[in-house]
Structure 1
Amino acid sequence: MSPWAVLTAAMTAGTAVSLIGQAYPTLAPFIRADLGLSLAAVGLLNTFIYLGTMLGSLPSGWLTDKLGSRTVMIVGTLIGAGLAVAVAVLARSQWMFIPLLFLVGLVVASATPAGAQAVAQSFPPERRGLVIGLRQMAVPLGGALAAAILPAVAHFADWRWASVVAALLAVVAALVAARLYYESLPTKAPPRGAHPALTQVLRERNILLAGIAGVTLPTGQFVMITYLILFLKERYGVPELTGAVLLTAAQFAGAFSRVFWSWLSDKMGGQRKPLLVMMVGLAGLFALVLAWLPSGTPLLLKALIVVLYGATALGWQGLHFSLLTELSPPGWEGRVVGFGLIFTSIGIASAPPLFGLLVDFSNNYALGWIAQAAVFGIGALLLSNIVERPRNQG
């Protein structure tokens, strides 16, 4: 089987799962009007999804190592489709919404360990950054499709119909992935006599630093997904559909930037840390620009700043998960990536409601964006202390 077929399957399934995971924050203006949510409650849409992701990450990594990435990838996508239909039918109040969002999060947890393991085992080490970057492109690509399709469906029909559309797309993606990725790849066994305990692996200094830094990395992405349309509307009077177009552009910029940075890291000898630290620092800078952008700024300049923010704040995943995969002992990739996903899920779950609380209490979006820049600064500091393995041994 062609490794490119495996990559295509992983990207297709990952995009569909990401679309479902980001559908409800993207639909926040419509859900807020329907269920009467506050800004802080809108942030909790992400919190409950990624609480499920946090608790499901390590089990998903273990299942990936044990059952194979194909099984986890396809079954997870189909379960996600079923849950999207359940949300459309059953979520008649915020109290019915919460447990369904948690279950969606459990499904979101399955995509990254399965996809990262599949492509890492299918390609040689000198291409690992590029292919994991391409696989992780599925996350903002799913978000971009969610922003491009679902608000329009919600505008002309209802947000529940938008959830059904997300489910249909996931079913199609699962069928495509099953067709392309028709066998499980063998898992590389650890060398004889090298069977470290899970707790020993996860306490290794560099893995721990990379994992903890992961709390900070996705915060800008999911604050943007949850609040950008509201921010542009309430601060600058930008219509919702125009805001959705800018969010789509930022998501596409993030999707392509993570591939570019991952490819560049391969060309620079496989070192992930330097580019990752630089990118996180730039994301903090653009967050500050958003905080202080004058109200009379032309729409085209607003769009440029939003796109540059997306290209940096969303560009971390390929490098981060490549780094975790390469810090992992052979055969433990799924579990180590799942371990890292626990921390990224904490950041995703906590950042949007905290951002919303800051804005609610200060009545000023600038404070939220300044806090976001500070979070990126902490992430860059943690990442700068990681010691990467030399790449010359492949």
Structure 2
Amino acid sequence: MDAPPPNRWLMLALGTAAQTSAFVFVYGLPYLIPELRSAEHLTLAQAGAVVATPTAGLLLALYAWGAATDRWGERIVLTTGLGLGTVALAATPAAHGLALLSLLFALAGAAGASVSAASGRVVLGWFPPEQRGLAMGLRQTSTPLSMLVAAVTMPPLAQAYGLRGALAFAAGLCGLMAVLVALCVVDPPRPPKSPAGGERPRSPYREARLWRIHGASALMVWPQFTVGAFGLVYLTDVCGWSAVTAGQFMAVGQAFAAVCRVGAGQWSDRVGSRLRPMRTLAVAVGALCLLLAAFAHVRWVAVPVLIVLCGLSASTNGLSFTSVAELAGPHWAGRTLAVQNTGQNLTASLCPPVVGALIAAAGYGPAFAVAGACALTAIGTLPPRSGRAGGGTTLPRPSARDAATAGGAPSAGSPAPGGPTGR
């Protein structure tokens, strides 16, 4: 007799918690720069280079973890990655010197890439198409959650217990989630690897559609990081706010971003499309960025627009991830999510130095205008409304059978990620 399907909401909670735990270290490391400099006698430039190593490791490992997920499944990859991250972080108390610390941090970042590649598949695999947008929107709140946890825990831990104490906390989180994932995560069902004719699943990258979604989502990262990275600086430099007040304002914006991600996912489920809401949101983000550029020195206009942009500029993230996974199919979803993560992280890494240089040379208005241009360019980059279904274009209406299984796994008739969702 077949085992009963797991509770899909538990799978969502585990996937979100795994992503949050893995990235507390990545987002928390910048808060440890003072302790890092003091403990290792580093210059500010050296400390900055060390802080960048986890992201470098993550980018280099993303595709490999995605391929491993497609081959061996989500639970094995999540458990292995979180376990390796725990080992790398637990080894830092015995490590001294710039080279060895950088290596361990890069290995921890590379291990954390496993969660980016696999946790989304767990969520998408256990939810039917009409609930995936909401589920992925909830899962994507892991980014603001990890930033929140890092900001609340890492500075006081470093002050009380030093650099190694803060890193031990991050290692403990990863270790705890590795155990929970190993015990509780169940890989979603997949169709056979070869169709009836015996042919291997066709690569989704043979068509331009998937590349266009990758490109559009990378373009949408630019306004998100322009606002996120320089919103506080804008409020202090132009509006004359204190850093504390500006930080509290931006924290409200991050909370709004989490709400917008969930709302956008639920909207996409309701209208039966991922790309239609993404287009509408890109129009709104582009228009608001241009409005902010035009009124950058008019505070009563700029400040409300800035906080709205904090939310809306982050709202399309879950839509694009859900769309590429659905288009790719269950045997390619891990790799496509890895490529999606790689493109977004590369854009996020490039944006701050370029925007900082632009602000220094021309001011905030042109910087916000470039962000608006990126959002509007994303509209034309997205695939056209016509064409092959799937990939987030159209979704089936929920059947009675699907509704009856809403508390557990998708019914046998519910397509897996990337299945024929609109045919």
Q: Say whether the fold is shared (TM-score over 0.5).
A: yes
The answer for the alignment partner of 1:16 in structure 2 is 21
**Taking structure 1 as reference, are residues 36 and 285 closer, same or farther at Cα in structure 2, changes over 3 Å only?**
farther
Instruction: From 190, 197, 216, give the equivalent of 1:213.
Output: 216
**Taking structure 1 as reference, are residues 87 and 375 closer, same or farther at Cα in structure 2, changes over 3 Å only?**
farther
The answer for the alignment partner of 1:314 in structure 2 is 314
Whole-Å separation in 2 of the counterparts to 1:12 and 1:385: 35
- Any conservation in 1 of the 2:87–2:171 contact (CA below 8 Å)? yes
**Taking structure 1 as reference, are residues 285 and 23 closer, same or farther at Cα in structure 2, changes over 3 Å only?**
farther
Percent identity over the alignment? 24
Number of paired residues? 384
Cα deviation per residue 1:137-165 (whole Å; 9 max; x = unaligned)? 21222223334444565678867755544
Whole-Å separation in 2 of the counterparts to 1:357 and 1:19: 29
Instruction: From 247, 250, 257, give the equivalent of 2:250.
Output: 247
The alpha-carbon deviation at position 129 of structure 1 amounts to 1.6
Cα deviation per residue 1:355-391 (whole Å; 9 max; x = unaligned)? 23323x4173444333222222222221253646142
- Any conservation in 2 of the 1:148–1:244 contact (CA below 8 Å)? no
Whole-Å separation in 1 of the counterparts to 2:253 and 2:37: 23
The answer for the alignment partner of 1:339 in structure 2 is 339
Whole-Å separation in 2 of the counterparts to 1:86 and 1:104: 10
Whole-Å separation in 2 of the counterparts to 1:289 and 1:62: 42
The alpha-carbon deviation at position 311 of structure 1 amounts to 1.3
The alpha-carbon deviation at position 340 of structure 1 amounts to 2.1
Whether 1:69 and 2:74 are equivalent positions in the alignment is yes
Q: Which has the higher contact order (CA 8 A, sep 6+)?
A: 1
- Any conservation in 1 of the 2:296–2:302 contact (CA below 8 Å)? no
Whole-Å separation in 2 of the counterparts to 1:264 and 1:369: 27
Whole-Å separation in 1 of the counterparts to 2:59 and 2:7: 32
Cα deviation per residue 1:73-96 (whole Å; 9 max; x = unaligned)? 233234334555667885866x77
**Taking structure 1 as reference, are residues 203 and 22 closer, same or farther at Cα in structure 2, changes over 3 Å only?**
farther
- For 1:253, the aligned partner's letter is F
SS in structure 2 opposite 1:19? helix
Q: Which runs of 5+ in 2 are unaligned?
A: 1-5, 397-419
- For 1:69, the aligned partner's letter is E
- Any conservation in 2 of the 1:254–1:315 contact (CA below 8 Å)? yes
- Any conservation in 2 of the 1:46–1:349 contact (CA below 8 Å)? no
**Taking structure 1 as reference, are residues 362 and 12 closer, same or farther at Cα in structure 2, changes over 3 Å only?**
same
The answer for the alignment partner of 1:146 in structure 2 is 150
Between 1:324-333 and 1:48-57, the stretch displaced more is 48-57
Between 1:82-91 and 1:52-61, the stretch displaced more is 82-91
- Any conservation in 2 of the 1:53–1:345 contact (CA below 8 Å)? no
Whole-Å separation in 1 of the counterparts to 2:157 and 2:28: 12
The answer for the alignment partner of 1:327 in structure 2 is 327
The alpha-carbon deviation at position 320 of structure 1 amounts to 0.6
- Any conservation in 2 of the 1:291–1:369 contact (CA below 8 Å)? yes
The answer for the alignment partner of 2:128 in structure 1 is 124
The answer for the alignment partner of 1:379 in structure 2 is 378
Within 5 Å, give how 1:5-154 maps onto structure 2: 5-24=10-29, 37=44, 49-84=54-89, 99=103, 102-150=106-154
Bigger Rg over Cα:
2
- Any conservation in 2 of the 1:251–1:310 contact (CA below 8 Å)? yes
Cα deviation per residue 1:145-198 (whole Å; 9 max; x = unaligned)? 3344445656788677555444433333334444432x4334333432364577
- Any conservation in 2 of the 1:28–1:226 contact (CA below 8 Å)? no
SS in structure 1 opposite 2:220? coil
Whole-Å separation in 1 of the counterparts to 2:29 and 2:245: 18
- Any conservation in 2 of the 1:73–1:110 contact (CA below 8 Å)? yes
Between 1:250-259 and 1:316-325, the stretch displaced more is 250-259
The answer for the alignment partner of 1:272 in structure 2 is 274
Cα deviation per residue 1:98-143 (whole Å; 9 max; x = unaligned)? 6555444423432233112112221222212221222222122222
The alpha-carbon deviation at position 327 of structure 1 amounts to 0.8
RMSD, aligned CA? 3.7
Between 1:75-84 and 1:95-104, the stretch displaced more is 95-104
Instruction: From 258, 283, 289, give the equivalent of 2:285.
Output: 283
The answer for the alignment partner of 1:257 in structure 2 is 260
TM-score normalised over the length of structure 2: 0.76
- For 2:129, the aligned partner's letter is P
SS in structure 2 opposite 1:62? helix
Q: Which runs of 5+ in 1 are unaligned?
A: none
- Any conservation in 2 of the 1:51–1:349 contact (CA below 8 Å)? no
